[in-house]
Structure 1
Amino acid sequence: MKYNIQIDKRVLDNYFCSDYFDKSQKIAKAINSKAIVTMQWFQRKDNSTVAGLEYIFEILRLSGLSNKLQIEAIEDGEVVNNLEPVLKITGKYKDFVHFEGLFDGILARATTVSTNIRTIKKAANGKAILNMNDRGDYFLNQQLDGYASYVGGVDTLVTPASTEVVAKLVAKPTGTLPHSLIALFDGDLIAALHEYKKQFPNNNLVALVDFNNDVITDSLKVANEFGKELFAVRIDTSVSIVDKSLQTLKEKDKELHGVNPTQVKMLRKALDENGFNHVKIIVSSGFDDKKIKYFEDEKTPVDIYGVGEFILSNKINFTGDLVMVNGIERSKVGRKNSSNNKLKKIIL
């Protein structure tokens, strides 16, 4: 199988099923309902990049319902608009009603991540994105989030869990060193990097250079020490402060606070003038699509954008609706059986 999707088997025991869906299934079984129904799943935003369907297919495989249901779906990674169905399932109500809310949640989480990933990828104009979302939410979400990030177009991930589902398709987790490791070496960035290089000689050497709030000075120190062995420097200046290199400049609206285009341009110029053209610049701290677009509009010489919090913003919710009963349209007022020419028959 292309994806290594691991499902908690308690799903099959309705452990993650809302009480009223669980009871609905029990009622349908108690009356021995043979009704054949169609349910469809949709969301309400335009330009949403759908993800999570492969998880749903795996749950249906594990449930033993493969031969009992007719399934139509689009492919993960397809873009859909408001009210367009992404999944339709036809079969006996009692066989799959308990999955309605569960599938809503899978699609909502994964589609939110993949849509945001595609949004920032577009804003970055083809530059690399480092997905730093591991710190943004509960750790057991990392497998699904990593898969959704891959679907959205970003496969540079930072934890083994986030690469688990797509391990055959992406590189091993990557990252830099944290501020805490520099602090462990009493603020001696050079000493910390020497130990990092000693312990992980095959990894790219990336220096986090804002610990002393003196990005240009520390970047040149590191570059002079390691030369061609230095792959990149990363700037993560807090939005609450101004880097020492900029403190003699005047600002109008805090545009010099935090990581900013002027800071990055000055750093690139300093590196190049000292013969370190090969050193890449990574930026992080509060980057979303708007901030990335601003940096790109300013022609800021960034090589890699590190993004975290934004990846879980702009929540996209899904709704599952029963729309057909025994071949007759039957749904709540305001909903109807809808079509989508991207839907294809799925064989599990």
Structure 2
Amino acid sequence: MTAGPFAAIEAGLARAAGPKQALGREDVALRTDAYFNRTQAIVAHFGDARVTYAVFIRRPVIAATGLMRRWLENVTRERGIVIECEQVYPDGAWVGAGEPLLYLTGSFIELSPLETLLLQRLGACCVAAHHAYQMALTLPHVAFLAMEARHCAGFEMQEMMDYAAAVGSAAARQEGAKGFVGCANDVTAPFFGIEKGLGTMPHALIGYARGTVRAAEMYHEVYPHDPLTVLVDYYGREVTDGLAVCRRFPELAAAGRLNLRLDTHGGRFLEGLDPQSSYAVLERNCPAAIRRYRSDQELRDLVGTGVSAAAIWRMREVLDEAGFPSVGLVASSGFGLEKCAAMADARAPVDVIGTGSFIPARWSETYATADIVAYDGESRVKVGREFLLAKSRIAPLPPSESAEP
């Protein structure tokens, strides 16, 4: 994982904060499940064994094991112990449901209390990476920004999500997609090969400035060398204020250094649109998108309120008609996989999408599992999990010896 689109991720892992946490035995014991601590005590009493764990997830994912492996490396270094990690799939590889991602081999006494913390650093990363990968491939010509930080339950989750977005995106870039090009925070930016987080202004700056154009002027005065991306929905005048910003900064507009960001909330239409005119916009630009059966959610994404495909197309029409063909469009607000698919169907002319919707919506999907498949070199696994031996170097026992009589 050190060449091509994954090189930046490897560098980011070297700077990651999360893997350095909770390394000591006492810290781990406080954070792990009690039955693992008790297992450790029992094994210590009766005698250690060399065990091999198979680690897997019950649904298809993109392998994103780097944070977990880095944390384990730090633990073993801190304690002066050896735990072998056989990585079955490299980061960025597609992994089928139930396929072992990796095997861990070492002292049962040392490994037992680590299971909880290892799994915490695995499942959510792999599922989020899969989502990011799918979104990037659905809109391969669009650059994505990871903007999930405010939706995360603390920094450790944010670090996992940005890492996952980078891994899924790198996998998609190998298939020709632009993918995620950055995130909102400086601390996780190295995962994307950049030093600083990306982003320009929140709605609060426009409220402070008492005007969209004035907020753009303030931003440009402080950051004159940066491209300028301006939110245009604060006053509900996306078209009016968007054109006013373009006319205020004609040089930036002509040079392709000005973008308008649409973040219209779901309670209203883009300025000038309603259901009928939204259908008309798509009829002019991509009629096939509305000429077949659509679910309610697909219709909302195509011609409904908020940042719909029709809204994006309408802004593109307005900008082109006004002589600003080089002004880019940035879209945000609920861009998960389904909405990305609707945008792809409508060939929405969006340049950048800011989203945190690659975060797994159903947390139960992220549950990673580990089972011991060998004790002192002898394969032994609970009934029903024999499939975990398939990619292991451990030879499975004959059927008659695989379970106690």
Return the TM-score normalized by structure 1.
Answer: 0.89
1:280 and 2:328 are equivalent in the alignment: yes
| Structure 1 Cα separation of the partners of residues 167 and 278 of structure 2 | 40
Q: What's the counterpart of residue 261 of structure 1?
A: 309
Q: Distance in 2 between matches of 1:247 and 1:130?
A: 29
**Pairing 1:90-129 to 2, within 5 Å after superposition:** 90-129=105-144
Matched, 1:320 2:375: no
**2:68 is equivalent to residue 52 of structure 1:** no
Match of 1:161 in 2: 187
* 1:129 CA displacement: 0.7
In 2: Cα distance, 1:296 partner to 1:66 partner: 52
CA distance in 2, matches of 1:323, 1:10: 27
Of 209, 225, 240, 2:248 maps to 225
CA distance in 2, matches of 1:263, 1:68: 57
Residue 312 of structure 1, CA deviation:
3.0
Letter in 1 for 2:84: Q
Q: Is the 8 A contact 1:245 1:263 kept in 2?
A: no
Q: Give the AA of the match of 2:273.
A: L
Cα distance, 1:54 vs structure 2? 4.2
How do 1:8-19 residues align onto structure 2 when only pairs under 5 Å count? 8-13=20-25, 14=28, 15-19=30-34
| Structure 2 counterpart of 1:262, one-letter code | A
Tell me, yes or no, if structure 1 residue 241 matches structure 2 residue 268. Answer: yes
The 2-side partners of 1:16 and 1:228 are apart by 56
Secondary structure at the counterpart of residue 39 of structure 1: strand
1:143 aligns with 2:159: yes
CA contact (8 A) 1:84 1:338 kept: no
Listed one character per residue, the Cα deviations across residues 241-289 of structure 1 (whole Å, up to 9, x for unaligned) are 1123114835786523111122211211111122211110011111111
Structure 2: give runs of 5+ residues left out of the alignment.
1-9, 170-179, 280-298, 394-405
CA contact (8 A) 1:178 1:208 kept: yes
Matches for 1:160-199 after TM superposition, within 5 Å: 160-163=186-189, 166=191, 169-186=193-210, 188-199=211-222
CA distance in 1, matches of 2:67, 2:205: 39
8 Å CA contact 1:40–1:320 kept in 2: the answer is yes
* Paired residues of 1:228 and 1:278 also in contact (CA < 8 A): no
* AA aligned opposite 2:391: N
Partners in 1 of 2:382 and 2:69 — Cα distance? 25
1:305-316 equivalences under 5 Å are 305-314=353-362, 315-316=365-366
Contact 1:246 1:256 in 2 (8 A): no
Q: How many residues align?
A: 337
For 2:76 and 2:356, the matched residues in 1 are separated by 35
The alignment partner of 1:228 has SS state of helix
Equivalent position SS for 1:207: strand
CA distance in 2, matches of 1:124, 1:182: 30
> Which range moves more in the overlay, 284-293 or 64-73?
64-73
Deviates most, 327-336 or 271-280? 327-336
Residues 146 and 356, structure 2, Cα contact 8 Å, conserved in 1? yes
Q: Verify: 1:41 aligned to 2:55, yes or no.
A: yes
Please, which moves more after superposition, 278-287 or 90-99? 90-99
Query: What secondary structure is seen at the aligned counterpart in 1 of 2:319?
Result: helix
| Residue 182 (structure 1) shift | 0.7
Conservation of the 8 A alpha-carbon contact between 1:113 and 1:312: yes
**Native 8 Å contact 2:319 2:325 kept in 1:** yes
**Alignment equivalent of 1:210, drawn from 212, 230, 233:** 233
Per mean C-alpha deviation after superposition, the further-off stretch among 314-323 and 283-292 is 314-323
> Do the aligned partners of residues 122 and 100 (structure 1) sit closer, same or farther apart at CA in structure 2, a change above 3 Å counting?
same
Per-residue deviation, residues 186-229 of structure 1 (Å, max 9, x unmatched):
2x111111111111222221010111212111110000001132
User: Could you tell me whether the CA contact under 8 Å between 2:83 and 2:104 is conserved in 1?
Assistant: yes
Looking at structure 2, the residues matched to 335 and 326 of structure 1 have their Cα atoms a distance apart, in angstroms, of 19
Report the equivalent of 2:84: 70
Larger RCO, structures 1/2 (Cα 8 Å, 6+ apart) = 1
In 1, Cα distance between the equivalents of 2:229 and 2:392?
47
Which has the larger displacement, 66-75 or 138-147?
66-75
Stretches of 4+ aligned residues off by more than 4 angstroms:
250-254
Query: Between the two proteins, what is the percent identity of the paired residues?
Result: 25
Which secondary structure state, in structure 2, belongs to the residue aligned with residue 331 of structure 1? coil
The structure-2 alpha-carbon separation of the partners of 1:181 and 1:63, relative to structure 1 and needing over 3 Å to count, comes to same
Q: Distance in 1 between matches of 2:274 and 2:312?
A: 14
Contact 2:165 2:358 in 1 (8 A): no
Q: Is the 8 A contact 2:278 2:311 kept in 1?
A: no
Q: Larger helix proportion, structure 1 or 2?
A: 2
1:155 shift after superposition: 3.5
